[in-house]
Amino acid sequence: MELINTCRPDDAATAYSTSLHWLLSVGYRHRPRQGCTCTEQNCPVPGAHPRPDSPVYVGPELIVQELEQSPGAGIIAWTTRFDALVLPRSVGLATMAALDQIAQVPCIVTDDAVTLLVLPATGRFARTFHPDLEVRSGRSNWIALPPSHGTRWDTPPWVPQTSTPVALLHGVDVGCRLGGPSSPESSSELAGSNPLPPTTTPSE
């Protein structure tokens, strides 16, 4: 099978849309030596945050067309098919070291943060495990996906060498490992974590 190339915006958007059924939008553009098209002089995430007027796409064709016309634009995923746990980079990397021993947890890394993906509507259960955790959940929240400027996958969201989505863990199973080894407070079994449910693409 051909590997998914998340360095190419059109390939990445197609994979996120068709294989993972994520709702996507096109973000602001990052311009080398000119910064973000949002015009904020010191934008903290240039080319990696949503435009207020950007439509939400449920299939790959239109978003690929827009990306081809918008070099340097970010790819934005709305947190409907997953919850995102955003952590300071040092805490997130320590968490990944613990999680790598037990499961493949999708993980996006930036210079300052690590974002872990868990089952939708379960991120809130991880809040009590670390004071610096930010939970993003629901249609009004978002994350920037690779190859948006400054982002990369540490652990991609599909089984290696395939386009099959990995089984996301419950927020508790990830939360109890935030910052390091497992805590005895976990209330759910890893072996019982379920894969993403089937999704149908809504009609326009």
The 10s digit of each residue's pLDDT in 88-112 is 999 999 999 999 989 999 999 999 9
Give the E-state strand segments of the chain in sequence order. Answer: 24-31, 35-36, 73-88, 107-109, 113-118, 134-145, 152-155
Q: What is the DSSP string of 121-178?
A: T-GGGGGGG-TT-EEEEEEEEEEEETTSTT-EEEE-SB-TTS-PBPPPPPHHHHHTTT
Compute the mean pLDDT over every residue in the chain, rounded to the nearest whole number.
Answer: 89
Predicted TM-score (pTM) of this structure = 0.87
pLDDT at residue number 181:
67
